[in-house]
Structure 1
Amino acid sequence: MTQPDRLPSQIRPPASGAVALVTGGNSGIGFEIARQLADQGVTVWLGARDFATGQRAAEELGSAVRPVQLDVTDPSSVAAAAERIGELGILVNNAGVNPGGEDITGTQLGQLRTAYETNVFGLIAVTQGFLPALSRSAHPRIVNVSSGTGSLTWASGPNPQFDWERVHGGGLAYRSSKTAANAVTLFTAQALGEHFKVNALAPGLRRTNLVPGMSAGGDPAEAATGAVRLALLPDDGPTGALWSWDGTRVPW
């Protein structure tokens, strides 16, 4: 797949009745993605592991946003959500965890399993669970919220966006799970063909709950804008790539 260096500037206005699902939508980037998609006229299902938490978030965002209980690590929860939602045109796999850990010398296997269970296996389970509905859509879109820290190209060479001297080899569980998520994005795009638009987003460092106590980072709403661009790509837009929140392509 030959990819442009930047995303197209235009978006495809959502059709009447367009429906999206945002996993992990009760806070952070997912919450802002839900807000911005609703502002575009999309009906948004806000997925949250705890229904009450999701319900409060949906009520804050208005009538276009509906809560649904969805634990991406629980197959029965995924199946129930797919049955509840029915038709779907946009899937945003935003749910993610960072279980901590250091480099190979200080990371526990349990931390790796936790990261992969949500960031990789959960992403795959939700995508598979909603493929029948997405396949019925005229403009199916899948956006996987990943991380630039999972880019092997960036990790193996100097890059001005990251202090690699500080994190060199670190964050094994989280970063490798995002590398795997990037691979899943590419292989999914190849399998589903050009009718689907399947892309990953590198949102940049944001103020979210992903890292407890983190006060540094940019506004989650800025990253969400990048996800919405991918969710509303025109039909001739790219598929099978990793994109920065600002619309520039990130190397695998």
Structure 2
Amino acid sequence: MSDNWTEQNIPDQSGRVAVVTGANTGLGFATARALAGRGARVVLAVRDVAKGRRAADRIAGDVTVQELDLSSLDSVRAAAATLHATHPRIDLLINNAGVMYTPRLSTRDGFEMQFGTNHLGHFAFTGLLLDLLLPVPGSRVVTVSSTGHRIRAAIHFDDLQWEQSYSRVGAYGQSKLANLLFTYELQRRLAARAGTVAVAAHPGLSDTELARNTPAALRLPVTWLAPVLTQPASMGALPTLRAATDPAVRGGQYYGPGGRGELRGHPRPVTSSPASHDEAVQRRLWSVSENLTGVTFPV
């Protein structure tokens, strides 16, 4: 596999349908633009439809907008129902949207905002759409995690919603670890079937709006170091794009930047934390997620 994989390595995507969450800005926009540029029919699944339409106007190709608020299970179900009515198949589901370091907030369903949006929302959305992917050869579910899955990260089954005490960094780490645990458990469930695979990716340190809630104590150092450490969204999207389109990708792989510390650089397979490979935790989180969302997967 190439050590300098770029958008130019994306195979022709003509005839394929890609649903990208959080695609109106940042990494999601860069991902959607690149896929549309290679011929895919792209659905921008976004919370703010007006912003989504403005983003769609900036992308050349077959692009539509679907309202999706991952912090509301009602919205997730409505979006999935609409996509079932309008798309007989989906080739790529890219779970990209996310929130980071928010103050203590709750979703409409009472979940801690980062866990509810980053993990539970995508868990439910994937489960409700998976029947549109399963019959499609070469279909993929790509979920975007973060190096933050290593930082103060654990699945706090005794307090998943951080009601006893709250750490915005710890809650983000839990949600990003959950993304990986979900990907690996989904791949294990898909492995007996031919066709669909689950893959994960992370963008390294990318210059996006995601870090707008960075704690005040870290904001100034991050601002100073950003020009040196971060990379543009177009580069940060490459691990996701490779995970979604490279013919050599295998289910259960994890892609990230290949530079020092996985902060920046061209995408390559990387490793995730030992905690993310704990199969007992993967199975337990899956069961808890089904109970919390009311969504059962067809695998």
- Shorter-chain TM band: 0.7 to 0.9
Q: 1:22 aligns with which of 12, 20, 23?
A: 20
State the identity %. 33
Work out the CA distance in 1 between the residues paired with 2:18 and 2:195. Answer: 17
Separation (CA, whole Å) in 1 of partners of 2:105 and 2:65: 33
The worse-fitting range, judged by mean Cα deviation, of 124-133 and 206-215 is 206-215
For 1:239, the equivalent position in structure 2 comes to 251
In structure 1, distance between residues paired with 2:25 and 2:66: 14
Contact 1:143–1:198 (Cα < 8 Å) also in 2: yes
- After TM superposition, the score normalised by the length of structure 2 is 0.68
Provide the residue aligned with 1:228 in structure 2: 241
Number of paired residues?
A: 228
Choose from 181, 185, 194 the match for 2:179.
181
What corresponds to 1:92 in structure 2?
94
In structure 2, the partner of 1:104 is none
Distance 1:46 1:58 in 2: 8
Change (3 A) 1:191 1:7: farther
Secondary structure of the equivalent of 1:240?
A: coil
1:94 deviates by 0.5
Distance verdict in 2 for CA 1:122–1:170, change over 3 Å: closer
* Structure 1 unaligned spans of 5+: 102-107, 156-168
Contact 2:39 2:61 in 1 (8 A): no
Q: Secondary structure at the match of 2:19?
A: strand
TM-score, normalised with respect to structure 1: 0.80
Quote the Cα distance in structure 1 between the aligned partners of 2:255 and 2:35: 18
2:217 paired with 1:219: no
SS at match of 1:26: coil
Could you tell me how far apart the structure 1 residues matched to 2:62 and 2:268 are? 27
Deviation per residue, 1:206-228 (Å, 9 max, x gap): 11111118752210110212211
Any stretches of 5+ residues in structure 2 without a counterpart?
154-166, 214-221, 258-266, 274-299
| Letter paired with 2:269 | T
Q: 2 CA distance for matches of 1:53 and 1:186? A: 33
Worse overlay, 71-80 or 87-96: 71-80
RMSD: 3.0
Give the distance between the partners of 1:131 and 1:225, measured in 2 at CA. Answer: 24
- Aligned residue number for residue 249 of structure 1: 270
The equivalent of 1:119 in structure 2 is: 118
Give the distance between the partners of 2:210 and 2:14, measured in 1 at CA: 34
Output the amino acid matched with 1:178. Answer: K
Which structure shows the higher helix fraction? Answer: 2
The answer to whether the 8 Å contact 1:92/1:142 transfers is: yes
Q: Provide closer, same or farther for how the CA distance between residues 237 and 176 of structure 1 changes in structure 2, counting only shifts above 3 A.
A: same
Q: 1:139 to 1:115 in 2, by over 3 A?
A: same
Contact 2:14 2:38 in 1 (8 A): no
Q: What is the SS of the residue equivalent to 1:211?
A: helix
Q: Which piece of structure 1 moves more, 182-191 or 8-17?
A: 8-17
Per the alignment, residue 161 of structure 2 pairs with: none
Shift of residue 232, structure 1, vs aligned partner: 1.0
Hey, what's the Cα distance between the residues in 2 that align with 1:144 and 1:196? 14
User: Which residue of the partner structure matches residue 82 of structure 1?
Assistant: 80
**Per-residue deviation at 1:68?**
1.0
With over 3 angstroms needed to count, the CA separation of the structure-2 counterparts of 1:78 and 1:7, relative to structure 1, is: farther
Partner of 1:128: 127
Q: Aligned-pair distance for 1:172? A: 0.7
Q: Which amino acid aligns with 2:200?
A: A
Out of 28-37 and 59-68, give the one that drifted further.
59-68
Counterpart secondary structure, 1:189:
helix
**Cα distance in structure 2, aligned partners of 1:69 and 1:170:** 27
State the distance in 2 between where 1:57 and 1:12 align: 21
1:155-190 deviation line (CA, Å, top 9, x unaligned): 8xxxxxxxxxxxxx9821111210111101100111
CA drift of 1:11 comes to 6.2
Q: CA 1:53 to 1:12, structure 2 compared with 1: closer, same or farther past 3 Å?
A: closer
Ranked by relative contact order (alpha carbons within 8 Å, sequence separation 6 or more), the top structure is 1
Instruction: Describe the shift of the 1:19–1:210 C-alpha distance in structure 2 as closer, same or farther (beyond 3 A).
Output: same
In 1, are the aligned partners of 2:71 and 2:113 still within 8 Å (CA)? Answer: no
**C-alpha contact (below 8 Å) 1:197/1:233 kept by paired residues:** no
